[in-house]
Every structure is written in structure tokens, then in C-alpha cells.
């Protein structure tokens, strides 16, 4: 299975919104509502911020939201804050013998 495709970078000014795409196929993102998103600061452990496309774990600010259309999932960070500057990875169930796949990752910069 191939990695899900994400833009290498995205940026926005404080208070603005930024949206990150995660493009797969009908065998993974498009076939199931099983997309999750992870935030990772440099040298730190990834942290779950979205699961099942648009659900937020307890403690994750509602500035983070997820959606999906066809084979593309999206993560939107609204009201950007400096602490949102990090790498973001999507992940999806990929069917077929319980495969899992990650996205290529997107570095978000707060200008």
C-alpha cells in the first residue's frame, strides 16, 4: 500500500485558518470513515488530535476539525496559534488484511 499524500507544508498567520489535505484511494480514505490525525512537535511523540474523520479526543481544542470528501480527508486548524506550529500526519485503515497507512506529513508554520 502507498503512503497517503499530504502537502509538504502549509502556513498561516495567527488567527487565520489553515487546511491540510490527505489524499488516498477508494481502498483507504475513500472507502472508510476511519481517518485519524496526529500532531507532532520536533523531537516529540505524536499526539492524536482527530479520529474517525471528525471526532476530537478529550483535551483537544475545538479549533481542530476534520472532514472527508471522496478519497480526500482534511484537517482544519482555525484561529491559528503559535503552538500549532508542528508536523501533522493523517492515517487511515486500508482494508485488505487490516492494513494501516500514514500520510506523508505536513509541516505547519505560523507566520
Residue 72: CB minimum distance to another protein, A? 18
Give every CB contact of residue 82 below 8 A, 6+ residues apart in sequence. Answer: 14, 110
User: Is residue 88 within the footprint of another protein (CB under 8 A)?
Assistant: no
Residue from 83, 99, 109, 111 touching another protein (CB under 8 A): that is: 99
Report CA torsion sign: 53, 55, 57, 61: positive
User: Is residue 101 within the footprint of another protein (CB under 8 A)?
Assistant: yes
Give the footprint of another protein on residues 44-83 (CB under 8 A): 45-48, 51-52, 57
18 three-class SS? strand
**47-39-27 Cα angle (round to 5):** 95
Residue 40: CB minimum distance to another protein, A? 8
User: What is the widest separation between alpha-carbon atoms in the chain?
Assistant: 43
Parallel, antiparallel or unpaired: strands 18-23 and 9-12: unpaired
Residue from 12, 105, 108, 110 touching another protein (CB under 8 A): that is: 105
Residues at the site binding another protein, with contacts judged by CB under 8 A = 1, 3, 32-34, 36, 38, 45-48, 51-52, 57, 89, 91, 93, 97-105
Amino acid at each position: 500500500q502507498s503512503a497517503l499524500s499530504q502537502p509538504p507544508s502549509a502556513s498561516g498567520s495567527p488567527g487565520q485558518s489553515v487546511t491540510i489535505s490527505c489524499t488516498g484511494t477508494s481502498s483507504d480514505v475513500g472507502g472508510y470513515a476511519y481517518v485519524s490525525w496526529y500532531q507532532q512537535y520536533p523531537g516529540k511523540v505524536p499526539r492524536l488530535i482527530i479520529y474517525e474523520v471528525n471526532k476530537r479526543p478529550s483535551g483537544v481544542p475545538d479549533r481542530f476539525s476534520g472532514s472527508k470528501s471522496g478519497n480526500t480527508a482534511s484537517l482544519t486548524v482555525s484561529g491559528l496559534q503559535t503552538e500549532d506550529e508542528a508536523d501533522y500526519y493523517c492515517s487511515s485503515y486500508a482494508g485488505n488484511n487490516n492494513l494501516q497507512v500514514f500520510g506523508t506529513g505536513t509541516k505547519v508554520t505560523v507566520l
